[in-house]
Structure formats: C-alpha cells, structure tokens
Structure 1
C-alpha cells in the first residue's frame, strides 16, 4: 500500500487543492459537481466525424480475461458490456481489446476476432445498445467502438506461457519477459506484417457488418502496434525513422478507411513513455540506463533522460493521424507491464508491480498536463483523457474542469467502471456519488489476471466478491503483504 495520503482523507476540494500545491501538481478542480440540468460541461454533445456523441463521458476498453477458450463472448463478459451500456457515458471506446489473430491474444480467454466473427461482435453490440436504450430511452447519440489489437511480446494465447511476437529485440524487455535476444523467429518478418494488416482489415469488416460505429486501432501499453512506434532498431520499411516506425499504424488506417468507409477510426495511443521500472529491495526503481544513452527504445521518451517524456514525436504522430482521417484519439501513457505507476496511478500496486515511487496524484497530473499540451498542439483532433480514476471522490470535479478549459474533449473511465458503472449517469443526474462504490485502486483487477484469474472488482462488486476466485485473490495479496 502507498505511504502517501489517501484521497478519502481529503474532506473538501480545498484540502485536496492545498495538497496538490505541495506536489506542484495543479490538477484543476471545480468547486462542486454540476448536473446536466445545471449546465455541466460534461453534458455537452461532442461531434465525432459524422456522428454526435451525447455527452463528454467515455468508457475505456476493459478486459476481463473471461471469454471462452476459443475467444468468444461468455455471460460474465456480456455482463460487463451491459454495464457499459447503462453507465450513462455516450462514447463506449472499444469495449475491450479483441485480438485480430488467435496468436495475438494476451491471455487464453481474450476475445479473438476469428472466433467472434460478425455474430459474436453483434452480440456484444446488442448488449450495450439494449442496456443503454432501456436505461436512457434513446441511443441515437450513443457511439460504440470495437478495439482491435495484437498483443505482440505479451501474447499468451495458451496457458502454458507466452508466445511472443515482437517488432524488434528490446535490451530490457527481452530479458524481463523471457525473450531470447538471439531468437530471430519471434520477430515479425515484413511478410508477417502484411498478413497482420490483412487480419485487421478482416476484423474491421466484421465489426462494420455487426453495426459498430467505430474501430479503435490500439497503439498503446506496449502491445504490438505501439512497439512498432519505437522500432528504431528494426531494419526495412517498418522501422528506423519516424516514417518507418509509424508506417504500420498509418497503413492500418488507410486500409480500413478504404475497405470500411462507413466506420469511424479512432486510435488509443500511449502519448509518452519512460524507461521500464522494476522492484528493487521493496521499492520501485528504473532499470539502469546510463550506459545506454541515447535511449532509443521508447516512443515519446527523452532520449538523453529517459525518466522524462518528450512529446515531439507523439505530437507529430497526432498531426499525421488527423491528416489520415482519424476522428479521435484516446490518450494514455506507458505500459502496465513496465511502468504501472505512470500508466495507472494507484495507492496499491498490482502483484507484478512495486509501491508507488511518487504520490499517485503526480501521475494523474502528468497525464492531464501531457494531454493539455497535445490538445493545444493539435486542436482539431478530438481527444479523450485517461488516468482520472485515482481522483475518486473528486473525479467529477476534475473532469468538469479539464473539459471546461478545453484541455481535453472527453474524459474516460476504466477501473472505476468495474466497481461503479453508473458514475457518469449519477453525475449528470446530480445524484451524489456512492462513496462505497468508488474505485480505491486496490489493483485486484490487475493482480487477478496476472495469476490466471478473471479480472474484476473483487473488493467492491458483489458479483465478483461471491466468485471462488475472490478467496484466491485475497490469498495472493496476503502473500504479497498487502
């Protein structure tokens, strides 16, 4: 657990503001939540391509490691999608990551596009729309996307272990994740890349046929398309310079636009990164890097100080995405496998993490501030922000303030929706938030799947609390001493 003050300790907005001032983390906070009737900026519509989204709340893709062994939807998975639909958010960004190939699944129960097909995708969409229509009486202002991915070096399509597929050999991540640096067979060939592009297009066609409004071409969190953005060490057309490293993402966009013109295209992008961290003597520390400067294995990283970010290339990419016809980007940071404290600020680390090396509020501010800079640089591109869940009681205060200032267009919720899916609806209705349902960043939703269990909010969701896995998660955390 964190030694930093917990959010629940702050009894007023002013108390939290005072603490933020000591951190030099000026997260903007409204004095109080405002309902839609009271003119909340979160109730404003948002133009997305040729659609209009009914409000400024967004639901991030949230996987449960709970599809069938073949990669098709199950009842517990569909339950989560129903919650997305009844959340009150009008932009459902991707639902959850769907691997375009069976080999690219991050776990043996991840959804797979070949297994789902049009029928499986249609079932997912029906759950969202039916729940939304039943709860709110209309769905003409609801936009639903499907996130398409390949897990790359984190692929684990079978329970026996990872089967990595990588863009290039990484000097830190190879050793950390069991990749033999001399094994060329796990590096995608140029022909493999071409086949991968075809698989994305096939999945996008099925999503369009099923009725989805948008596809998200996932380029974040260390997965394959994101890894290509840092592939300076890869020879040939898919690596090297900026044009080569962004070619895969650009080609995916061009192919999907050409073959699925009715689909909006979004990109979930890790806006910046830093050198990987790990646990050392009970605390988090960066891997040694002073002998590896300039650091050439990151995207959005300061090459001479890889503990800091550099937005020059990410902003250039955002401009390129805008020019390619991408309608929106969902901005996040880093990877949960390498820098969880930066990617997902939390009081309690997951089992494969480390205690937070900074007050998690600094991590929240880092993402908000980077998104602000990106929005200022490319104002024409719709942008969704991440990292707000750690604010807990004050998530609405911050969401209102950042949207009102034009720092971000829409605020996304991820972990929060596992414990409190109705938060957007409650906020817009002017209903006081249910404090007992607020995500407290216990990280059980990450610890469970790291041990082969289904992901969910075991502490706060009564459904998950009653599952047999709840006792296993509790035992794992006891062994961790958390």
Structure 2
C-alpha cells in the first residue's frame, strides 16, 4: 500500500467490511455485530471506584480549547464546551480540561488556571455540566466530575502562543533540540519541585471546595509529570530509580490526601512512549508533509517511559506495571490510560488520517494505532483487575466506535471508554449509542485535525469542519487562510 493510501472508515462496507479489512492488516480487534441498548447493554452497566458510582461506561476525556481568559478564568467558549459535556449524557467527565496549577505552567496563554480569583468560576463550570446533564437526561444521578491538574513543563507557553518557555525535568538529547531548549538553561531544581508540589496541593484543595469529585494528577503527553517518569539521568531525589522518578507523583498524592481528604484521585497516564517523529524529508514537499519517521537516535534509549530501551519503537510495559504497583500502594486505582505525546509522536496518541499542521502523515494505517492502545489497556487490566481503567484512542473508529466499545467492555479489556474530539461537534453521541440510535455520520469526527492545527497556530480550538459555532466564527477564516498559506 502506498504512502497515505489508507481506506477511510466510511468507505468500508459495514461491520463485515470493517472486520475483513482489519483481518487483512492482521488485527484481531473485538467488534460486535449488534450494539445493544437498554439496561442490559454492556455500555449501560454502572461501575463503582473509590466510592464513586459512575452510571455507565461512556466517558469524556479532558479537552482544552485554548480559549480561556488570560487571567485563567473560563470564557464563554469554555462554558459552552463544558455545557456540551453535560449534554452528552456521559456519566464521567474526566477532568474537563487541563487546569494549570500556576501561571508559568500553562501550555498556552489562555489555559484554565486555578487561582483564588478563578476558583468560583471554575466551580461554576461543574454547575454548568450538571445543568446540561439534567437537561439531557432528567437528573444528575451517578454523575462523576473531575478536574485535571497540570503543569506543562517542556511545553509551557504562558505568555506567547508561538514561544516555548520550557521548564524541564532533565535534558533530553532529542527533545531539547527539537523544541529549542537552550543548553545554558538549567532544569527545574529540587527546591522548585517542592514548591510546585505545594501548588498542586493548593489547587486540589480549591477543587475540593468547588465540589469536584476527584482530581487527575496528570502524567501524560510529555508534560512535566510524564517527563519525570523518564528522568533516568536526573541526579537527586526526583530522578534515576523508578522510586525517585515517581516521587513527584507520590508527594502530590500524599499532600492531597492530607489536605483535601474528601477528594478522590485519578491519574491520566501515558502508559508507553517512543522516540520523537518528524515528516520524512525524502517524501516531504512544499505544502505536503511526508509520513512520520523517527528522529535519529542511539540505543539504548532510556527516555521513553514504557518503551523498549533497545528498540524504542516497541512498547515494554515492565516499568508501567511497576508504576501501577506503586499507585496501588498509594490507594490510586483510577487510571485513564493514554500514550506518548501529541507534540512529538501524535500518531501513537490519536490515530488520524489527516495530520495537524506541525505533524506528519501517518506512518502506519491508523487502525493499527487504535489496536495498539486497546492492547495496552487490555494487558494492564489483566494484570491489575482491581483497577478501574479508562481507554483512549477510539476516535478513528468513527461509525464502528459503538461496536468496538461495546465489545471491549463486554470482554473485560477495559472498564470505561473515553470519547474525546468525537463529542466536540456531536455531544449527543453517548446518548445516541445508549438509546440504540444509529451514529449520525454527518456529525461524526473524521480526524481532520483542525482542532489541533488551530491552537498550534494561536487560534482557539474547536471542530471547525462540523460545528456551526466555529464554522461561523472569525477564527474559521483565520484557520482557512492559514491552511491555504501552508499548502501554497
């Protein structure tokens, strides 16, 4: 098959055609012929974790819109997005969106930030979700809402959408060069880490006061918490051994337990990572990105947590499972499993046919990427059946999403199925599935990646192809001009 010559999901001939195509790729992905509805549906079954009862198995991933006010408060666009999370009927809102614990940790100048001044409006976001959920379902029974706490680390842009102001855990031989980290700048000190841990604890106390059921101590996608997990060459108490590399997480969790005892704790975790990728220079031409190829790297490559050091293009969950054992001892059994980073290997985290402007065309059929994530969660669930695991990476399944989601839940591969950009333009998707309605193909995400291309270029995120709110906005014209200039 030629580069980029992958069939679109919509071109496959129903479930049978979908299954046959997966078979041709050597993929044994579970897929039910019929999606059940009503109380006997596997997706409709409630589940309980850490004293929180979640009404069914369809949940919403955290998705930030790069659209808050510069002082960290939510904007009208933010409020609209959270209301639609409520209207989705999903019984678990995992974090809503990444909320920075202090201003220098923002991934963009308009990221939600927990401060004394923004606290009341961040509390109001929870109320907005509940109101939307009641409107859609008639009540808010068994609805669980969390807030994701973060520091963006290497990918901080607190003042300028175009300029990284990185705060890093260690010097990475590839990422420092790729993202312009000056060699003369130091890494975050142990004393500053302790102050940052205090900031997480303060933010969690505020989240508790806001009424959130849990906080997510974010350890994924290349942000600071995730980067600590691969800090094998960092000296001192926060690097080297796995015990040291998990100290950041452990001290945050211990502090939250002490200062906000009512609050439950989850972790969104990149269970595996890889080397950074780039467009193949041999196949890239002006206006057309080539397929992704790995950056030149030496082996052993110790910088990919959950990766095989001798072949980092393969995953190895040995340390990931060791981390699960550590989380079990901490009493954290609520994990949203994701992968890698959208900044340096997006095909692993969110398989798509169309790349964002700073990405590359997929180096593999995106269905392979979906199956990789399903397999990782299956392996972790088999090893840790007492954990409640939420899976990621389903969007590329498109109209076959309900068939696969039901199958993996029914077979015990995963507990909760996470929906991300699928609900930006189609928030009713969870309710449609649970009520036995067919997927509305005209509103279904086709992974055009505009929701990523826009914020990468300082424009608010949203589903520009399908959501009329964004299609009619001034930002739509900016994005269209940007994409035209890139092609030209």
Give TM-score scaled by structure 1 length: 0.97
Secondary structure of 1:308's counterpart equals strand
Given the alignment, which residue of 315, 321, 344 partners 1:315?
321
* Structure 2 equivalent of residue 296 of structure 1: 302
Cα deviation, 1:47-106, whole Å, max 9, x if unaligned, reads: 021121100011000100000011111111000000001101100000000000100000
Which deviates more, 28-37 or 345-354? 28-37
* Structure 2 equivalent of residue 164 of structure 1: 166
- Structure 2 residues not aligned, in runs of 5+: 285-289
Q: Kindly report structure 1 stretches of 4+ aligned residues shifted beyond 4 Å.
A: none
Cα distance in 2 for residues equivalent to 1:403 and 1:377: 16
Cα distance in 1 for residues equivalent to 2:395 and 2:54: 22
Cα distance in 1 for residues equivalent to 2:111 and 2:420: 17
* Structure 1 equivalent of residue 287 of structure 2: none
How many pairs are equivalent?
477
2:211 is the alignment partner of 1:211: yes
Cα distance in 1 for residues equivalent to 2:38 and 2:108: 40
Contact 1:388 1:395 in 2 (8 A): yes
- 1:190-339 to structure 2, matched below 5 A, reads 190-281=190-281, 282=284, 283=290, 284-289=292-297, 292-339=298-345
Secondary structure of 1:123's counterpart equals helix
2:464 is the alignment partner of 1:458: yes
Query: Quick one: structure 1 residues 166 and 479, their matched pair in 2 at CA, closer, same or farther if it must change by over 3 Å?
Result: same
Cα distance in 2 for residues equivalent to 1:169 and 1:250: 22
Give TM-score scaled by structure 2 length: 0.96
Contact 2:451 2:464 in 1 (8 A): yes
Contact 1:70 1:115 in 2 (8 A): no
Contact 2:73 2:122 in 1 (8 A): no
Cα distance in 2 for residues equivalent to 1:162 and 1:116: 25
- 1:130-145 to structure 2, matched below 5 A, reads 130-145=131-146
Given the alignment, which residue of 381, 384, 399 partners 2:387?
381
Secondary structure of 1:126's counterpart equals helix
* Structure 1 equivalent of residue 31 of structure 2: 29
Cα distance in 2 for residues equivalent to 1:360 and 1:470: 27
| Shift in Å, 1:30 | 0.5
Cα distance in 1 for residues equivalent to 2:381 and 2:232: 26
Contact 2:270 2:339 in 1 (8 A): yes
Contact 1:300 1:309 in 2 (8 A): yes
- 1:384-423 to structure 2, matched below 5 A, reads 384-423=390-429
| Shift in Å, 1:11 | 2.3
Cα distance in 2 for residues equivalent to 1:452 and 1:115: 27
2:21 is the alignment partner of 1:19: yes
Which deviates more, 106-115 or 216-225? 106-115
- 1:177-188 to structure 2, matched below 5 A, reads 177-184=179-186, 187-188=187-188
Cα distance in 1 for residues equivalent to 2:255 and 2:107: 25
Secondary structure of 1:120's counterpart equals helix
Contact 1:42 1:56 in 2 (8 A): yes
* Structure 1 equivalent of residue 12 of structure 2: 10
Secondary structure of 1:244's counterpart equals helix
| Cα RMSD after superposing both structures | 1.2
Which deviates more, 109-118 or 77-86? 109-118
| Shift in Å, 1:115 | 6.1
Cα deviation, 1:333-364, whole Å, max 9, x if unaligned, reads: 00000100111100100000001110000000
Cα deviation, 1:433-466, whole Å, max 9, x if unaligned, reads: 1110100000000000000000000000010000
Secondary structure of 2:147's counterpart equals strand
| Shift in Å, 1:140 | 2.7
* Structure 2 equivalent of residue 44 of structure 1: 45
Query: Quick one: structure 1 residues 198 and 168, their matched pair in 2 at CA, closer, same or farther if it must change by over 3 Å?
Result: same
Secondary structure of 1:146's counterpart equals strand
